[in-house]
Amino acid sequence: MANGRNLLICGDNLTALDELIKKSIKVDLVYLDPPFFSNKTYEIVWGDEAEVRSFKDRWAGGINNYIGWMKERVVKLYDVLKDTGSFYLHCDWHASHYLKVMLDEVFGQRLFKNEIIWRIGWVSGYKTQKLGWIRNHDVIFYYTKSDKFTFNKEYIPYPEDYVRRDGKKPTGKGFPIEDTWNCNPADILDSIMIKSFSKEKLGYPTQKPEALLERIIKASSNRGDTVLDAFCGCGTTVAAAQKLKRAWIGIDISPKAVELITKRVEKLGAFQGKDFDVIGMPTTLGDLQKLDPFHFQDWIINKMGARRSKKLTADYGLDGYYEKTIFTDRAGIQVKQSESVGRNVVDNFETALRRANFEKGYIVAFSFTKGAHEEVAREKHKGLDVRLVEVDDLLHDKFKV
């Protein structure tokens, strides 16, 4: 934490955790919801469907590489965690058993507290046709760093008409919460889910409900404690921590995600003022050159106020596009994270525009050759309007549609 303020960090969590360790920053609670080992590529459409963030949930080399990748981060998170701290890791069946063995190695098997089962939703029609048991839950592993830790026991209040078997009204706070958590709206006592009409729903396919994080944060921290999420995603952990008066640190490698989290948390503190710092966002050409290609595309498309193509690959050279509105013409966009983009790139882009029935397009790159400019000028005489946009102009808000 910088000067006692909350931190939102854009960057590789491995590097960010190194910085926290160097500064001797310690936290009371870690929650992780990392990309699962599911061999899927997700496309996430934010809010108004004009902003899209993509990430790849793939690890070449199989499960051993994935567990090694996770262990690097868990070891550093162990160092950041206070001796009295708690650790939760959210995963599913693809790698849960491998992760459990790895966590036992880092924390010690004795400090494993619970395997929480969270029922993730309704059973859909196509699942009911499946031969065999229907998978419908996630796993959350809960560890502590020592035998001294915070745990605030939580209860589900008794219904007003509830009576014991002997006919008497119960005493006490309610039913103690067990290690199986529900996501069933028909269960009025214990339903943890994001309803389809919920304001917190952001279109993120792996988004977790705030109620889930609130349960964890209430149980394993107190007001003023610090909560850390190293795979911040759309910011559910930090939003829940903010509401519950905990300090927080959020880390995500995607600038688009960090922008979304910034807006989400600012809304929560709209009347109190901004109480967090954002660090690591790209501010120079060098920063942008270092971004992962998909994150670079996200940054460019978002900066242009355009839509991203639905396909991550095989998009025929169109990474984004503008719909026709009163402010913009219909146009295709290609993003190149490179210098000296030449004539051949422009020629291929023009072919892609015609195939998609666009009459206008933008190529974005760090710089262009003389041949690229000459090709654009020649095509303009044929009725195809292609514009070359340098990243520096976007960075310094010089670009106009």
Query: Per-residue b/e over 242-253, b at no fewer than 16 CB within 10 Å?
Result: bebebbbbbbbb
Burial of 4 (0-12, 13-18, 19+ CB in 10 A): exposed
Strands (E), 157-206: 175-176, 180-181
pLDDT recorded at residue 206: 65
pLDDT recorded at residue 1: 58
Q: Which residue, 41, 127, 37, is CA-closest to 90? A: 37
Distance (Å, whole) CA 86 – CA 191: 24
Least confident of 73-77, 241-245, 269-273, 294-298: 269-273
Distance (Å, whole) CA 12 – CA 94: 23
Structure tokens at 313: 């690959």
Least confident of 1-10, 116-125, 205-214, 250-259: 116-125
Name the residue with higher pLDDT: 193 or 107. 107
Most confident region among 211-220, 265-274, 285-294 by mean pLDDT: 211-220
Distance (Å, whole) CA 343 – CA 21: 48
Residue 107 predicted with pLDDT over 70: yes
Structure tokens at 106: 């880092």
pLDDT recorded at residue 344: 94
Mark out the alpha helices in 196-336 (DSSP H runs): 210-220, 236-243, 255-268, 285-290, 293-304
Residue 149 predicted with pLDDT over 70: yes
pLDDT recorded at residue 27: 98
Tell me: the pLDDT tens digits for 308-318?
A: 886 544 445 79
The maximal CA–CA distance of the chain, rounded, in angstroms, is 90
DSSP reduced 3-state for 268: helix
Kindly indicate the confidence band of residue 62, based on its pLDDT and cuts at 50, 70 and 90.
Answer: confident
CA 226 remoteness from chain centre: 20
Mean pLDDT of the chain: 85
Least confident of 59-68, 190-199, 331-340, 361-370: 190-199
pLDDT recorded at residue 160: 81
Residue 7 predicted with pLDDT over 80: yes
Name all domains of the chain by residue range, CATH numbers in brackets: 6-281 (3.40.50.150), 286-395 (3.40.1350.10)
pLDDT recorded at residue 208: 84
Q: Once rounded to an integer, what is the mean pLDDT over residues 372-382?
A: 90
Predicted TM-score (pTM) of the model is 0.81
Size of the chain, expressed as the number of residues it contains: 401
Q: Once rounded to an integer, what is the mean pLDDT over residues 235-244?
A: 94
Q: Which residue, 62, 57, 184, is CA-closest to 119? A: 184
pLDDT recorded at residue 123: 57
pLDDT recorded at residue 228: 98
